[in-house]
Amino acid sequence: MSSVRLIPLIFRGFVFLPQRCTTIAAPFQPFRSFASYAPRSRKNSKSKKSSKTFGDHSTAATSGTRKYDENQIIPDALGELPQPERIYRRPEYHFNPEHEKDNEYPAIMLTKEEKEISVPFLKKVVSTLEDRGQQFVLPWGDESAIEAILGILRELTTTTGVFPEFLFDAFTQKPELFAAITRNGNKCIEIFDCLCDMCGFSIQDTIRMFGSYTSELLETDANEISQRLSCFLRVGVNAGRNLGRMVRKCPAILFASDSQQIAENVEALGSFFSRSILPKILANDPEIVLKNFEQIESNYEYIYYHMRCEPEEFVETRQWSQMPLEEVMNRHKFLLKTGKYELPDPKKPQLKMENPSLHRIFDTNDNAFAVHVATVSVEEWMMYKELAEKLEALEDKERPFERIKPSQRKAYERRLKETKEQEDYVFEA
């Protein structure tokens, strides 16, 4: 149809609209069932070619609307569709992932009855543990108790896709995991769901994590774990892979502290770093939220005010919050004395000095720091540390360095500039 036919025709005060504009389309069905949004086969998707006249506008409009209803998926309706379980291409049978690559470890052999997660499966686990010196007593006479244990195991195998061979290997390698499942099965399932949903772990990795920290995780619950992890989500850390990497680096954030203390530390760190930098700091060093904040504050003030480092440079290092303040000061002062670290020129503060990165300064051991960063021998560096410790004991200062308020940083830099200029013109008597 040309654009001329869509223009209303006005004749003697009457308005005539084309027939296509006056046709009422069929009501749209936003959500009927999952099958209604399935793609049609190639055979059914082919439209029958038929000759249409210009006057047959209502048929064209109706057929176009019907095709739109059947084929197009509305984004708003995707949230109502059932989410499929993630099925991993590579099946995992061993609790230790390294055993999958090593041929020395034989395949886990279970009979057909044992793979069905029934009483023979439990007896197989118990007998294997007894052969390895671990004795377990299950209430074999109580059918309801045994069925409750089997129900938990069947839920794992049917809803998550974990193989019975994997559970057998996990229970025989980690007897405490088998004890936790048999005693607190529902609590374990809730923790598994929390870690899978928030951290993006597979069910196999979740069981591995739980098996490594069984006693610690049993002292908490899924609600408390969710509250602890939510503290990171509120400041911009993405759930899933990013949060999972943080948990892998520091599993203690799941149970080592309460959620209120973690939230307070995260909020306090927000006063040091911007909204865009803070998630990177937490991702690089998740353990920082479990540290004493006074120590973190002292390290930050010295690195920021006395070493003249910007907040963006803290992303490079991981040990700046974990290293004692005395070690931070000793490394900085030693680099100043060896000429490997220079402060910005007071006359040209906008010029950035080419100093070693914070990663090289703080994330290296004594040998690597002395040889590769300060370019001196290890003996010289160790001797300097001993002398610095003796001088610190003689000075007996309340604080090891001068504390500077953020509003007084410019004044402090001007004072250092004046002091340096005076020292250049002092003559010895």
Contacts of 74 (CB under 8 A, 6+ apart): 30, 31
Task: Give 10's strand partners.
Answer: 15
pLDDT at 404: 63
pLDDT band at 114 (very low <50, low <70, confident <90, very high): confident
The rounded distance, in Å, linking the Cα atoms of 90 and 357 is 41
Give 188-208 pLDDT, tens digit per residue.
Answer: 999 999 999 999 998 999 999
Question: Which residue is associated with the tokens 């939230």?
Answer: 263
Q: Considering only CA atoms, which of 163, 175, 168, 169 is closest in space to residue 105?
A: 169
Task: Give 16's strand partners.
Answer: 9
pLDDT at 112: 87
HEC secondary structure over 106-134: CCCCCCHHHHCCCHHHHHHHHHHHHHCCC
Element (H, E) at 11: strand 9-11
Give 74-98 pLDDT, tens digit per residue.
Answer: 333 333 333 334 434 457 788 877 7
pLDDT at 30: 37
Average pLDDT over residues 171-200: 93
Contacts of 133 (CB under 8 A, 6+ apart): none
pLDDT at 135: 86
**Helix 164-173 and helix 203-212, axial crossing angle in degrees, nearest 10:** 10
pLDDT at 100: 64
195 or 51: which leads in pLDDT: 195
Which of 124-133, 158-167, 169-178, 347-356 has the lowest average pLDDT?
347-356
Check if the beta carbon of residue 262 is closer than 8 Å to that of residue 253: yes
Contacts of 139 (CB under 8 A, 6+ apart): 145, 146
Structure tokens at 279: 């998630």
Which of 34-38, 171-175, 235-239, 408-412 has the lowest average pLDDT?
34-38
pLDDT band at 277 (very low <50, low <70, confident <90, very high): very high
295 or 349: which leads in pLDDT: 295
Q: What percent of the chain has pLDDT over 90?
A: 46
382 or 68: which leads in pLDDT: 382
- How far is the CA of 385 from the CAs of 2, 362, 389, 395, 415, in angstroms? 88, 15, 6, 15, 28
pLDDT band at 402 (very low <50, low <70, confident <90, very high): low
Average pLDDT over residues 111-115: 86
Task: Give 9's strand partners.
Answer: 16
Q: pTM of the full predicted structure?
A: 0.68
Average pLDDT over residues 303-313: 90
The number of angstroms, rounded, from the C-alpha of 193 to the middle of its chain's C-alpha atoms is 16
pLDDT exceeds 90 at position 216: yes
Average pLDDT over residues 293-316: 91
pLDDT exceeds 80 at position 428: no
Average pLDDT over residues 255-263: 91
Task: Give 348's strand partners.
Answer: 345
pLDDT band at 253 (very low <50, low <70, confident <90, very high): very high
pLDDT at 136: 85
Domain residue limits, the chain: 3-41+55-78, 291-429
Identify each DSSP E strand in 212-349 by its residue range. Answer: none
pLDDT band at 160 (very low <50, low <70, confident <90, very high): confident
pLDDT at 340: 92
Element (H, E) at 14: strand 14-16
394 or 137: which leads in pLDDT: 137
Output phi, psi for 193, to 5 deg.
-60, -40
pLDDT exceeds 50 at position 31: no
Q: Write the DSSP string, 290-329.
A: GS-HHHHHHHHHIIIIIS---GGGGGG-SSTTTS-HHHHH
Q: What share of the chain is helix, strand, coil (3-state, %, to 5)?
A: 60, 0, 40
Average pLDDT over residues 106-120: 84
CB under 8 A, 24+ apart: contacts of 148-151: 148/185, 149/122, 149/181, 149/182, 149/185, 150/117, 150/118, 150/119, 150/121, 150/122, 151/185
Check if the beta carbon of residue 46 is closer than 8 Å to that of residue 33: no
Structure tokens at 203: 């069910």
305-323 core/surface letters (b: 16 or more CB in 10 A; e: else): bbbbbebebbbbbbbbbbb
pLDDT band at 332 (very low <50, low <70, confident <90, very high): very high
Average pLDDT, the chain: 76
Question: Which residue is associated with the tokens 């149809």?
Answer: 1
Structure tokens at 282: 């937490």
Which of 131-135, 303-307, 398-402 has the lowest average pLDDT?
398-402
The rounded distance, in Å, linking the Cα atoms of 229 and 268 is 17
The rounded distance, in Å, linking the Cα atoms of 391 and 308 is 24
